[in-house]
Amino acid sequence: MSTTISAADVSALRKQTGAGMMDCKKALQEADGDFEKAVEILKVQMGNKLGKLAGRETAEGTVQSYIHANGKVGVLVQVECNTDFVARNEDFIAFAKDLALHIAAMNPQYVSADDIPQDAKDKEIRVWEQQLEAEGKPEHIRPKIIEGKLKAWAKEVALLDQPHVNGDKYDGKTIEQLRGEVSATTGENVVIKRFSRFAVGE
């Protein structure tokens, strides 16, 4: 005997995951009406589509904010997706809000390591070169040491490479991993476009 899937269940699943109506109906049928199991099925299916999502244009999205309790630190972050439907999705909005909180706490300078301008890298390299010279490090090993320092520094200042500040909630996952999960859940290309952090005294 097949499980009867109501339109209300399909609608509720679509609202939570952002998946298409037919995908939601099939997932519920496969899960014999078990809502949570259907969510897992859709996550797996969407995960396989992640590579195809990256090239899709992001014309919708949300701007979310975070103001620290003392009123001295504030953040605005712009996160984009493909459709207005997902822009209103609770998981998508929650991700953007948590992102703003993370930026307030960790103060990243760039969205990704690729966004770091060469002059900023050169400035750090000059400092490290002086340090290594002062430490008496042999010249032939300095480039390798500086290369390692550059990679470590890029991870510190690039938002996508940072583990979320709420490590207990997100099991130490990076912002890029969390962005990928939201993309899989919604079935859309999720892009962190830009952010601004404001702090009194900085």
Q: Domain 7-53 is in which class?
A: mainly alpha
- What are phi and psi for residue 158, nearest 5 degrees? -95, 125
What pLDDT does residue 117 have? 92
| Distance in angstroms (rounded) separating the CA atoms of residues 8 and 47 | 25
| Distance in angstroms (rounded) separating the CA atoms of residues 160 and 164 | 9
Query: Quick one: which of 27, 59, 20, 32 has its CA closest to 44?
Result: 27
What pLDDT does residue 79 have? 96
What pLDDT does residue 109 have? 95
What pLDDT does residue 114 have? 86
| CB proximity list for 139: less than 8 A, separation 6 or greater | none
Q: Is the pLDDT reported for residue 201 higher than 50?
A: yes
Per DSSP, the three-state class of 201 is coil
| CB proximity list for 19: less than 8 A, separation 6 or greater | 13, 27, 42, 45, 46, 186, 187
Instruction: Name the pTM for this structure.
Output: 0.68
**Would strands 73-81 and 60-67 be described as parallel, antiparallel, or unpaired?**
antiparallel
Q: Is the pLDDT reported for residue 193 higher than 90?
A: yes
**Interval 79-106 mean pLDDT:** 93
Query: Hey, where are the domains in the chain?
Result: 7-53, 60-112+158-199, 117-156
| pLDDT band at residue 3 under the 50/70/90 scheme | low
What are the E-state strand segments in 23-181?
60-67, 73-81
60-112+158-199: CATH number? 3.30.479.20
Q: pLDDT of 17-74, one tens digit each?
A: 656 667 788 888 898 888 888 888 877 776 555 344 555 566 789 999 999 999 999 9
| pLDDT band at residue 185 under the 50/70/90 scheme | confident
**Interval 127-134 mean pLDDT:** 92
Q: Is the pLDDT reported for residue 148 higher than 90?
A: yes
